[in-house]
Amino acid sequence: MARVALVTGGTRGIGAAICVALKEQGRTVVANFAGNEKAAAAFHEETGLRVEQFDVGKLQECERAVQRITEEVGPIEVLVNNAGITRDGTLQRMSRDMWDAVIDTNLGACFNLCKLTFPGMRERKFGRIVNVGSINGQAGQYGQVNYAAAKSGIHGFTKALAQEGARFGITVNAIAPGYVDTDMVRAVPHDVLEKIVARIPVGRLGHASDIARGVAFLTADEAEFITGSTLSINGGQHMY
């Protein structure tokens, strides 16, 4: 039986590429999204994959979704915490709401979904978890104290949970993407983006498929000896 993979934020951008890569790897993939129904419908039409709408930052919504997926598709054995948002602004201009939204969606979601899927993985003695961090969680970024805190939190969360999962065949790893050509990065002003690309040794933005390749590698059944690691995929922009 194919293992069930849940990819949060899986209907657009990096998440959509991850879903396709995991499907090609033979997983039964479920793609989560927040509210963009049009993008989710187009993704479903194109890939045939099941889509599930729920807010990863809300524990109760996650509980209902995990229960539904487990009953209707099967136990989740591969979890990719990819959903993320930005609410940028210098600390001086950042409201508490901007802080909370980014922490809840990027970091709180990892707690919610790992908490809900970990017991089943432990029972079956198999699990693959990948949390999507960021180069900006490693290096910091002007105007992103919320995002950098959430993403570097993900890197610490990953190392701690890896230690808890190791005895049970559960690996927990993180990926730290550099700048990838998705809607999130298209929102960055053109002149700022040009300066960013000039600092990437490989000379281009990343493609979503560059990140998906790393996720497929880390979630393979054979990757059982890789845990607690952070894989940087950033064109050489930050060597950490």
The residues annotated as belonging to the active site are 147
DSSP per-residue codes, 58-121? -HHHHHHHHHHHHHHT--EEEEEE---------TTT--HHHHHHHIIIIIIHHHHHHHHHHHHH
Whichever of 139 and 166 has its CB closer to ligand NDP, that residue is 139
CB-based contact 171:128 (threshold 8 Å): yes
Q: How far is the CB of 27 from ligand NDP (least distance, A)?
A: 18
List of residues contacting ligand NDP (CB under 6 A) = 8-9, 11-15, 32-36, 39, 55-57, 82-85, 105, 132, 134-135, 177, 179-180, 182-185
Q: Between 39 and 73, whose beta carbon lies closer to ligand NDP?
A: 39
Query: CB 11 → ligand NDP: shortest distance, Å?
Result: 5
User: Which CB, 35 or 201, lies closer to ligand NDP?
Assistant: 35
Query: Between 54 and 126, whose beta carbon lies closer to ligand NDP?
Result: 54
Token pair listed for 216: 């497929």
In a 13 Å sphere around the CA of 20, the CA atoms on its Cβ side amount to 18
Output the smallest distance, CB 206 to ligand NDP, in A. Answer: 7
| Closest approach of ligand NDP to the CB of residue 213, in Å | 14
* Torsion sign, CA atoms 212, 214, 217, 218: negative
The CA distance from 221 to 226, in Å, is 11
